[in-house]
């Protein structure tokens, strides 16, 4: 079973040797590896190419250097189109994998042909101290009544609650493995002459939604897999470590606000815009009505927070309107062809 790895980098030079070592030392060795650099300015591309050539001269790595930052969605899409593996592993560079991560995930995937995606248990990695902690980064995503989507287990110590193999709402985009057949089943053909960010597409297919650019495209893809009848799973035996201390999900509004202050303006704007895109594209109208009070007051609070604390990010609303026509076409296709009922989504809502 061949696994195509799409290792996507943007100015993460310091992590690259650790991540690549953990990839090339996997117990499962039937791998097709793509290293994609999104126009980094920290010499990441030259550094990793030299590192791989000296330490792993026999390793077959496809190096792709983009001339501009294409974002998470488009860069991974280009690899998926080229992939010859039965499974696609989209990997962040600030991740190190247990040697059996891929092997364990594949064992679960092979047991259930309806499984479209899987994630392992991601722990926090203290890169500065080079320490693997037992604090959880993500076990996948959960969706709340407000339709806020959080990382399951984020910032909690590992416990029996997370010692399980179970269905989840969504995988985290840091280290998910997808069944290629599942991705092919949900790819979207952009209508001719449709406009997306002032670009014209003809006969173009997307797996990850390129309108998102980056941030929450992983949740969108998982939700679309659910609509197509695929299942999303979490495996507690597949371990990885992620250096993400300031960008996890806050459990309270105050914590979320504190974390937003540590993020870039671009990420905060994409987060605001893409959350609304995500809901408009994927949620059933009946579920909107059921959860309207929770959704309304949550979004109202977000709007006023943005208005007074991040007014420059209100441009996200303008971008949202520009994407409305294309997003509506995508929504119509998703809902029309959905193989599930609204109650199938409600079982994931907490």
Predicted confidence (pLDDT) per residue in 252-266, tens digit: 555 555 555 556 778
CB-based contact 149:141 (threshold 8 Å): yes
Other Cβ atoms less than 10 A from the Cβ of 130: the count is 9
Q: Per-residue pLDDT averaged across 160-176, rounded?
A: 97
- Percent of the chain residues past pLDDT 90, beyond the cut: 84
Side-chain-facing half-sphere of 305: CA atoms under 13 Å: 16
Rounded CA gap, 275 and 299, in Å?
10
- Percent of the chain residues past pLDDT 70, beyond the cut: 91
Say what the pLDDT of residue 204 is: 80
198 has pLDDT over 80:
no
Q: Per-residue pLDDT averaged across 207-215, rounded?
A: 94
Say what the pLDDT of residue 197 is: 47
Other Cβ atoms less than 10 A from the Cβ of 258: the count is 12
Structural domain contains residue 320: no
Domain that holds residue 119: 3-247
Q: Per-residue pLDDT averaged across 198-211, rounded?
A: 73
Say what the pLDDT of residue 252 is: 52
Other Cβ atoms less than 10 A from the Cβ of 40: the count is 19
Mean pLDDT of the chain: 92
20 has pLDDT over 70:
yes
203 has pLDDT over 80:
no
Q: How many domains does the chain have?
A: 1
Structural domain contains residue 347: no
Q: Per-residue pLDDT averaged across 68-97, rounded?
A: 97
Predicted confidence (pLDDT) per residue in 238-290, tens digit: 999 999 975 545 555 555 555 555 567 788 899 999 999 999 999 999 999 99
Rounded CA gap, 303 and 309, in Å?
10
2 has pLDDT over 80:
yes
Rounded CA gap, 309 and 263, in Å?
13
Structural domain contains residue 262: no
Query: CA 199 → CA 190, 196, 212, distances in Å?
Result: 11, 5, 14
Predicted confidence (pLDDT) per residue in 32-72, tens digit: 999 999 999 999 999 999 999 999 999 999 999 999 999 99
Structural domain contains residue 299: no
Say what the pLDDT of residue 199 is: 45
Rounded CA gap, 89 and 299, in Å?
33
Give the relative orientation of helices 324-336 and 265-282 as an angle to the nearest 10 degrees.
40
200 has pLDDT over 50:
no
Structural domain contains residue 175: yes
Structural domain contains residue 332: no
The full DSSP string for 57-71 is TT--EEEEE-SS--H
Query: CA 133 → CA 137, 153, 235, 270, 342, distances in Å?
Result: 10, 14, 18, 29, 38
Q: Per-residue pLDDT averaged across 168-181, rounded?
A: 98
Structural domain contains residue 313: no
CA pseudo-torsion sign 103, 65, 15, 155: negative
CATH number of the domain bearing residue 115: 3.90.550.10
Structural domain contains residue 312: no
Say what the pLDDT of residue 201 is: 43
């Amino acid at each position: 079973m061949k696994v195509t790895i799409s290792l996507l980098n943007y100015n993460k030079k310091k992590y690259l040797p650790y991540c690549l070592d953990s990839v090339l030392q996997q117990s499962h060795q039937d791998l097709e590896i793509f290293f994609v650099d999104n126009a980094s300015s920290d010499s990441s591309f030259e550094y990793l190419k030299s590192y791989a050539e000296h330490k792993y001269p026999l390793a077959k790595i496809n190096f792709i250097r983009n001339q501009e930052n294409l974002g998470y969605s488009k860069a991974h899409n280009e690899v998926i189109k080229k992939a010859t593996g039965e499974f696609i592993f989209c990997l962040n560079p600030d991740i190190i994998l247990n040697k059996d991560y891929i092997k364990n995930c594949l064992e679960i995937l092979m047991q259930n042909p309806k499984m479209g995606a899987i994630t392992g248990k991601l722990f926090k990695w203290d890169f500065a101290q080079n320490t693997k902690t037992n604090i959880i980064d993500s076990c996948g995503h959960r969706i709340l009544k407000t339709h806020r989507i959080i990382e399951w287990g984020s910032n909690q110590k590992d416990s029996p609650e997370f010692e399980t193999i179970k269905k989840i709402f969504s995988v985290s985009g840091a280290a998910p493995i997808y069944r290629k057949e599942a991705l092919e089943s949900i790819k979207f053909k952009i209508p001719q002459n449709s406009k997306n960010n002032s670009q014209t597409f003809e006969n173009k297919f997307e797996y990850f939604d390129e309108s998102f650019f980056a941030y929450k495209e992983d949740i969108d893809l998982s939700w679309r897999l659910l609509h197509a009848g695929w299942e999303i799973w979490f495996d507690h035996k597949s371990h990885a470590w992620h250096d993400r201390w300031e960008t996890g999900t806050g459990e309270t509004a105050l914590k979320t606000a504190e974390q937003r202050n540590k993020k870039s303006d671009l990420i905060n704007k994409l987060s605001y815009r893409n959350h609304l895109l995500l809901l408009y594209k994927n949620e059933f109208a009946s579920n909107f009505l059921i959860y309207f009070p929770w959704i309304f007051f949550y979004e109202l609070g977000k709007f006023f927070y943005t208005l007074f604390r991040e007014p420059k990010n209100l441009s996200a609303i303008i971008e949202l309107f520009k994407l409305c026509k294309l997003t509506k076409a995508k929504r119509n296709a998703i809902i029309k062809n959905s193989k599930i009922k609204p109650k199938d989504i409600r079982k994931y809502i907490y």
